[in-house]
Amino acid sequence: MPDDDRMTGRCLCGAVKITVTGDHKDVGVCHCDMCRRWGSGPAMALHVGQDIEIEGKDHVTAYRSSDWAERGFCKTCGSNLYYRLVEADSYVVFAGLFSNQDGMTLKSQIFIDEKPAFYDFANETTNMTGAEVFALYAPPADQE
Ligand SMILES: [Zn+2]
Ligand SMILES: [Zn+2]
């Protein structure tokens, strides 16, 4: 893997370092109530799946926020690090952690129906409501 296919990032205090490999420059925004409560604003993150290495894991606390996912943060500085789909072991990592954000593009906004009225992004994106997201990603009840 050539160096330029790697993106490196860290939490505010530097105890946790994150390396992502592959092409993951599409930023998705989540306006859901939980993300906004957790980060005091909409979450802006990259879907990296399993293309991630985390150094300093003993500094990470994972909060199980739903039956299917947990949210990782640095227990020293509180930086939001990732949202992880537990079953699939699939990571969504926060864009703000990365030192170099060149080439990142705002592609999609989800839970647009939970966005408060006091802000709007001007970027042209694909927008989905919470119901549309669940319809797309949630397994049918008979497969749970
Ligand atoms: Zn930290
Ligand atoms: Zn959310």
Ligand nearest to the CA of 114: 2
Of 90, 128, 110, nearest in space to 43 by CA? 110
CA of residue 2 to ligand 2 center, whole Å: 33
CA of residue 3 to ligand 2 center, whole Å: 31
Query: Cβ distance 38 to 80 under 8 Å?
Result: yes
Q: How far apart are CA 9 and CA 98, in angstroms?
A: 4
Whole-structure pTM value: 0.90
In the chain, the amino acid numbered 108 is S
Ligand nearest to the CA of 78: 1
Placement of tokens 């949202």 in the chain: 83
pLDDT, averaged in runs of 10, over the chain (144 residues): 79 98 96 96 97 98 96 98 96 97 96 97 97 81 51
Looking at residue 141, its pLDDT comes to: 59
Tell me: the pLDDT tens digits for 83-117?
999 999 999 999 999 999 999 999 999 999 999 99
| Tokens (6 digits) for 67 | 């039956």
CA of residue 67 to ligand 1 center, whole Å: 26
Q: How many CA atoms lie within 13 A of 5 on its CB side?
A: 8
Query: Cβ distance 70 to 34 under 8 Å?
Result: no
